[in-house]
């Protein structure tokens, strides 16, 4: 199979989980009461665990290997600062959209990196596609809830999520065509994304995880991180 076709296939597979998560949220499959809330918090935690695993195992290692320290520090912190500014800007105008922000602002840079990485390291590209797909599912599930709480109807909330299932294909193809072989540039993009992701995890997502004295949300985060380790062990 041609590499460009693999890029399209893997980016589609990782992006379609956005729609799946939205459909699951729209179907209201969770039970009511404390048990349903505990599951919902656990889904948020699972997504946070996957995001941290993506930062630890995929987004930062190559950058640390290839980039000098004077580049690593400002690029990483610039991701943090930009995500902070956008988070505050959106929060003041649209309201409760942390999960949608987390999904879009890490998904699109990662999709670009996915296409670029495939030009010289297909195993890492496959691993990145796996992480993107795993994190998109719980993020879109919870982003649906954020959209509804912000005033969107359930159908309109799902409609907002649908384009995210396909925008990753465009981003990945552009990354493959224009960043081919650009190891340092791609590493910088991934490092920038990592800085922003950590901001969103600890500023917006982590505070939503704790639910009374229940242990399941903490286990959800651990499970998400563990799946990241398993993916690295098998594909890395």
Q: Give residue-wise pLDDT tens across range 23-50.
A: 988 887 766 555 567 677 778 788 888 8
Domain count, the chain: 1
Q: Which domain holds residue 77?
A: 3-235
Please give the pLDDT value at position 187.
Answer: 87
Distances (CA, A) of 178 to 122, 129, 145, 186, 190: 17, 19, 36, 11, 16
Total number of residues shown for the chain: 236
Confidence of residue 92 (pLDDT cuts 50, 70, 90): low
- pTM attached to this predicted model: 0.80
Q: Give residue-wise pLDDT tens across range 115-159.
A: 988 877 788 888 889 888 988 888 888 788 888 887 889 999 999
How confident is the prediction for the chain on average, in pLDDT?
82
C-alpha 186/C-alpha 156 separation (Å) is 35
> Of 66-75, 163-172, 219-228, where does mean pLDDT reach its minimum?
219-228
Neighbours of 70 (CB within 10 A): 8
Higher pLDDT, residue 212 or 190: 190
Q: Report which DSSP code applies to 56.
A: I
């Amino acid at each position: 199979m041609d590499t460009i076709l693999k890029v399209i296939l893997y980016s589609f597979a990782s992006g379609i989980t956005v729609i799946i998560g939205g459909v699951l949220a729209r179907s209201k499959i969770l039970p009511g009461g404390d048990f349903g809330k505990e599951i919902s918090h656990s889904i948020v935690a699972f997504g946070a665990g996957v995001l941290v695993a993506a930062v630890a195992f995929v987004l930062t290692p190559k950058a640390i290997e290839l980039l000098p320290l004077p580049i690593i520090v400002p690029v990483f912190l610039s991701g943090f600062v930009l995500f902070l500014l956008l988070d505050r800007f959106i929060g003041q105008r649209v309201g409760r959209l942390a999960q949608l922000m987390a999904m879009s602002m890490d998904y699109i840079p990662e999709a670009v990196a996915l296409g670029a990485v495939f030009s010289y390291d297909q195993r890492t590209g496959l691993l990145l596609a796996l992480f993107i797909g795993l994190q998109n599912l719980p993020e879109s599930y919870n982003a649906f809830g954020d959209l509804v709480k912000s005033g969107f109807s359930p159908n309109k909330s799902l409609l907002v999520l649908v384009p995210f299932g396909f925008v990753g294909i465009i981003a990945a193809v552009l990354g493959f065509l224009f960043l081919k072989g650009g190891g340092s540039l791609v590493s910088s993009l991934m490092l920038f994304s990592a800085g922003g992701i950590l901001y969103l995890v600890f500023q917006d997502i982590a505070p939503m995880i704790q639910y009374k004295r229940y242990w399941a949300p903490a286990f959800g985060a651990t499970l998400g991180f563990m799946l990241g380790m398993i993916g690295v062990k098998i594909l890395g």
